[in-house]
Chain A
Amino acid sequence: EPEVTQTPSHQVTQMGQEVILRCVPISNHLYFYWYRQILGQKVEFLVSFYNNEISEKSEIFDDQFSVERPDGSNFTLKIRSTKLEDSAMYFCASSEGAITVDTQYFGPGTRLTVL
């Protein structure tokens, strides 16, 4: 069964550094998402992406964040200047279509630790 994959599994960075988190969505899926989960808390929506543009973003997704689909398979989340409070598990998800709300499948996550 196809799965969403993410790299790296764990990223440690210094405050103020840029990080890029990578995701490979399921191949026939058209909608892509990033969520984050601070340790012990709920999963929070960051951004959704369709047809090479952002379709919705949350208030968490400020100017420090950006997303890109650089080629036909990868979907990336960039954090330009990391802060301590960006430490969290970041999950990528994808869904097939959105005529109706569609099932989202989650990747294994990237644990980001900002020191």
Chain B
Amino acid sequence: GENVEQHPSTLSVQEGDSAVIKCTYSDSASNYFPWYKQELGKRPQLIIDIRSNVGEKKDQRIAVTLNKTAKHFSLHITETQPEDSAVYFCASGAAGNKLTFGGGTRVLVKP
């Protein structure tokens, strides 16, 4: 089955700096790659997603890139703010719709 690896597991950045989280997946049939932000005790909230027919997508300070050949995708957060502190999960999906999640990255933005 699908396996999603996510790095790093923790990331500490200074406010205003950029944060980058990387994920790799194993199943070449995967064609949907969402990113979720989860604050302590809360539900995963979708922040951005990308489908396999697109190489890059941007939404304000957040961008995601996808390299289907290498089977990896990345989340980029620019101009980080303290409210960006959370756990971020990447995931992959394909026909059948289940999502396979990465292990999560705990991001701490230091003021």
Binding site for B on A (CB under 8 A): 31, 33, 35, 41-45, 48, 55-56, 58, 91, 95, 98, 100-109
- Which of B54-62, B67-75, B99-107 lines the interface with chain A? B99-107
Would you list which residues of chain B between 89 and 104 have a CB under 8 Å from chain A? Answer: 89, 91, 93-104
Whether B31 lies near A100 (C-beta < 8 A) is yes
Whether B42 lies near A45 (C-beta < 8 A) is no
Whether B46 lies near A105 (C-beta < 8 A) is yes
How far apart are the CA atoms of A98 and B96 in the complex, in Å?
8
Contact with A along B8-47 (1 / 0, CB 8 A): 0000000000000000000000011010100000111110
Chain A residues lying within 8 Å of B7, measured Cβ to Cβ, are: none
Whether B98 lies near A48 (C-beta < 8 A) is yes
Question: B76 on the interface (CB 8 Å rule)?
Answer: no
How far apart are the CA atoms of A41 and B49 in the complex, in Å?
22
Given A100-B51, A108-B42, A42 and B95 contact (CB-CB distance below 8 Å): no
21 A-B pairs within 8 Å (CB atoms) are namely A42-B101, A42-B102, A42-B104, A43-B36, A43-B99, A43-B101, A45-B99, A48-B96, A55-B96, A55-B97, A56-B97, A58-B98, A91-B44, A101-B93, A101-B95, A103-B34, A104-B97, A105-B46, A106-B43, A106-B45, A107-B43
Given A43-B89, A103-B49, A109 and B98 contact (CB-CB distance below 8 Å): no
Whether B94 lies near A101 (C-beta < 8 A) is yes
Whether B44 lies near A101 (C-beta < 8 A) is no
Whether B31 lies near A101 (C-beta < 8 A) is yes
